[in-house]
Structure 1
Amino acid sequence: MAVVPPNSQQEMRRRNLSRVLYAVAGAGPVSRASIAGRIGLTRASVSTLVEELLRAGFLVELGPGRSGGVGRPGNALALTGLGPCGLGAEIGVDHLTVCAVDLGGRVRARIGDETPNGEAGPDSVLRRLSSLVDRVTTEAGAAGLRPAGLAVAVPGLVTRSSANVVRAPNLGWYDTDLGARLGGPGASLPLTVENEANFAALAELWLAGEGSARRDFIHVSAEVGIGAGVVIDGELLRGTRGFAGELGHVPVQPDGPRCACGGSGCLEQYAGEAALLRAAGIAVRGAGGRTAALARLRARASDGDEAALRALRRAGRALGIALAGAANLLDPRAVLLGGALTGLAPWLLPALEGELRQRTTTPGNVPEVAVSAVGSDAPSLGAAHSVVRTVLNDPLPYAVAH
């Protein structure tokens, strides 16, 4: 006779509570009957689960809504705008961002700091990040929210299932444990640290909308460096140690210029922001810094400036060479450009797509190339939503005490 695991009933209940929450999250205000139809449980079972989630403070009733079938409309259910929320942060080379996202996916607080971080050192940067987390936590608390965790996106290699940044060369960080350095409210919260490109890719997967069929794609994001988040069959590819996706350090010209990683001819040396601006003859200086310099690059390209166009063509070709290798290895449906690449896409895409067509092994199945639907906040949003999904996956530990 088969042995039944002792916690099988509790596990099934936990899973079904999670399924109800995800059904409400995916459908917006929805009735009990519609939830039952979506997740394949009886209406009686769904009603029991819904009542438990209402008592625990995860759902609210909004009044009569469509039932999805015949008969009287049932009360529409929505995720609460109070209670647990996710805190997401991004540490960029020249900015910090912290946001709070509620269970319904709404950004309820956001603070940014445009101070350069490259030469400040980890202790100084993390003190400023802790201050921002404190301010966002206070603002979220005033709106009736309490953080369930903090997730931080960083531009570097992060050991899998740890808070240790092994290497972030554009920050000058090596073997930096964020858990040991974060103070304030962040120190008392469950902490997740992940590469910024991975969180950006997860934001694309989770937030691009119900109509998006993309579950196999490479999301490329660029600031000073270039990273890629790889999603295969709806799952993030992290690699054995958590280091997958270092597209910026794929060599596209083995005898090319030296890179901060120690290699030569890396993609970053041709398509990273610093390389692009340098090749176009644009200096980063004065008010606005890098953002203003990129705006000048776009303006010059729009005006037909040959140096700007030549730099962008070179970057597009380098991206295409690196991505063709990744496409041949991974066979994604799409390549999505994020970060600074979004604003430069009109000039990058012709050369990039040309290299993909020439170099991919199946010419009739070249990956679609498109601009990210989420935008520049993708890393911090992906981080915050990762915390929200932790709550939705197992809600009862975060229930309101009665």
Structure 2
Amino acid sequence: MTAPLHESRPAGSGRALPDTQQGMRRRNLARVMHTVSAEGPLSRAAVASHIGLTRAAVSTLVDELIRSGLLEELGPERPGRVGRPGSALAVSGHGPAGLGAEVGVDHLAVCAVDLRGEIRARAVRHGANRGRTPQPVVEELTSLVRRVVAEAEREGLWPTGLAVAVPGLVARDGRTVVHAPNLDWHDTDLGALLSTGLPLTVDNEANFGALAELWLGDGTPRDFLHVSAEIGIGAAVVVDGHLLRGTRGFAGELGHVPVHPDGPECPCGGRGCLEQYAGEEAVLRAAGLAPGEDLVGLLARRAVEGDEAVRRALRDAGTALGIALTGAVNLLDPESVVLGGALAGLAPWLLPSLESELESRTAGPACPVSVSRLGPQGPLLGAAHSVVRGVLDDPAVVAGPA
């Protein structure tokens, strides 16, 4: 049985702790957890030095975190040092874990990530979700969640929350899908449909992909525009290490920016949206290929083989992306643009025309474009890690399994 967190909240949002003695204790517990997570293994003395508390105060905090199953002692730190070695502390590989899930147009996925950031359990179901009502899709997702929870518990883990990535607009309540055009879902309360017993957070897949890039990417700046794609195209803006959500939480809908206002109709109700030129299905149509599984793999193989129709379709998609991104870059002035999701696997054929458009249309110096190493795994990993980050941010709310 899993003990829940005291509350759920939008991923990556953080939570202000009260300025009381109890609030100070919780902040210090979080400081210890983040320090050991980022720098460990460390002795108590090293942790005290890092965060500026006395060794006695840190020892009290560490003992509490060990009892809660969040930290573990590994034995003497670096034998051979002058003086008595301290016991090395590390984030526990057992105990709390974060569950991430993704509802894609053509798949469902769930994974469990421990506090060290390692994936310990995973389940995937491939199959079309477009045109299906939410209820059967969520029932299948719930089955996958239960399978992953059972596997995680066999590994000595107890999930503390579930975060779900969806390809659509999500209300600020962190549970209602307001509109997912490529699923044809409207005003769907996933909190009411998902019966897992875990605290739930729902967010746009591009937001979770951007958070994964921020937390797990190599050298990713704290100000960037993250663009990801499957059937649809989403974006997320990260400013000073935080998501820019907008008034209603809908910021980042790059896929529905008009590239050609008189272009084809889009499921969102508009015309000539970027998705109609650079989404997976749009590229397949332009290349004269039939839809199927592993669309990105098919396009990449054909491009490598020299299929000129595929290469032309990808060049045109890159041009459309560049036109749409120019507006965002001119408006926001990000430090960089990061291509993730399916776009990462097609970057060699997209980038030349995309970068050409950015260079010719951007008012200032051209914005550098990089490719995410996380690729299509970003949203799922970002979802799971958002739960883990919630534990690191406020470890006091976590109780052991009943």
- Per the normalisation by structure 2, the TM-score is 0.92
Matches within 5 A, 1:188-203: 188-203=197-212
Shift of 1:135: 0.5
Contact 1:17/1:49 (8 A) holds in 2: yes
Q: Could you tell me how far apart the structure 1 residues matched to 2:307 and 2:220 are?
A: 38
Superposition CA RMSD, Å: 1.8
- Counting aligned pairs with the same residue, the percent is 65
Contact 1:58/1:399 (8 A) holds in 2: no
**Partner of 1:336: helix, strand, or coil?**
strand
Q: Could you tell me how far apart the structure 2 residues matched to 1:196 and 1:401 are?
A: 30
**Partner of 1:376: helix, strand, or coil?**
helix
1:138 to 2:150 alignment: yes
Larger RCO of the pair (alpha carbons < 8 Å, separation 6+) = 2
Q: Deviations over 1:282-311 (max 9, x none)?
A: 111xxxx231x4323222212222211111
From 53, 63, 70, give the equivalent of 2:75.
63
Partner of residue 226, structure 2: 219
Partner of residue 377, structure 1: 377
**Partner of 1:290: helix, strand, or coil?**
coil
Contact 1:85/1:101 (8 A) holds in 2: yes
Q: Deviations over 1:258-279 (max 9, x none)?
A: 1111111111011000000100
Matches within 5 A, 1:274-293: 274-284=281-291, 289-291=292-294, 293=295
Partner of residue 361, structure 2: 359
Equivalenced residues, count = 385
Shift of 1:38: 2.3
CA pair 170-258 structure 1, distance change in 2 beyond 3 A: same
Partner of residue 260, structure 1: 267
**Partner of 1:109: helix, strand, or coil?**
strand
Q: Deviations over 1:183-214 (max 9, x none)?
A: 2xx2x1111000000001101111125xx251
1:241 to 2:244 alignment: no
From 141, 165, 180, give the equivalent of 2:192.
180
**Partner of 1:298: helix, strand, or coil?**
helix
Matches within 5 A, 1:37-186: 37-66=49-78, 71-183=83-195, 186=196
The answer for unaligned runs of 5 or more in structure 1 is none
Shift of 1:242: 0.7
The one-letter amino acid of 1:343's match is G
The one-letter amino acid of 1:58's match is L
Partner of residue 320, structure 1: 322
Q: Could you tell me how far apart the structure 2 residues matched to 1:299 and 1:54 are?
A: 50
The one-letter amino acid of 1:334's match is S
Q: Could you tell me how far apart the structure 1 residues matched to 2:161 and 2:24 are?
A: 25
1:208 to 2:210 alignment: no
Shift of 1:7: 5.6
Q: Could you tell me how far apart the structure 1 residues matched to 2:32 and 2:59 are?
A: 10
From 342, 345, 349, give the equivalent of 1:343.
345
CA pair 36-268 structure 1, distance change in 2 beyond 3 A: same
**Partner of 1:45: helix, strand, or coil?**
helix
From 30, 33, 46, give the equivalent of 1:18.
30
Contact 2:214/2:220 (8 A) holds in 1: no
Contact 1:30/1:66 (8 A) holds in 2: no
Q: Could you tell me how far apart the structure 2 residues matched to 1:180 and 1:16 are?
A: 35
Q: Deviations over 1:208-247 (max 9, x none)?
A: 25xx251111111100000011111000111111101000
Contact 1:31/1:66 (8 A) holds in 2: no
Q: Could you tell me how far apart the structure 1 residues matched to 2:401 and 2:181 are?
A: 45
Q: Deviations over 1:89-129 (max 9, x none)?
A: 00000000001111111111000000111122211100000
**Partner of 1:48: helix, strand, or coil?**
helix
Q: Could you tell me how far apart the structure 1 residues matched to 2:246 and 2:260 are?
A: 25
Q: Could you tell me how far apart the structure 1 residues matched to 2:30 and 2:329 are?
A: 35
The one-letter amino acid of 1:383's match is A
Partner of residue 4, structure 2: none
Contact 2:106/2:129 (8 A) holds in 1: yes
Contact 1:277/1:294 (8 A) holds in 2: no
Contact 1:225/1:268 (8 A) holds in 2: yes
The answer for unaligned runs of 5 or more in structure 2 is 1-16
CA pair 400-182 structure 1, distance change in 2 beyond 3 A: closer
Q: Could you tell me how far apart the structure 2 residues matched to 1:31 and 1:120 are?
A: 53
CA pair 359-387 structure 1, distance change in 2 beyond 3 A: same
Q: Which moved more, 1:336-345 or 1:48-57?
A: 48-57
Shift of 1:70: 6.2
Q: Could you tell me how far apart the structure 1 residues matched to 2:298 and 2:99 are?
A: 34
Q: Could you tell me how far apart the structure 1 residues matched to 2:205 and 2:313 are?
A: 25
The one-letter amino acid of 2:326's match is A
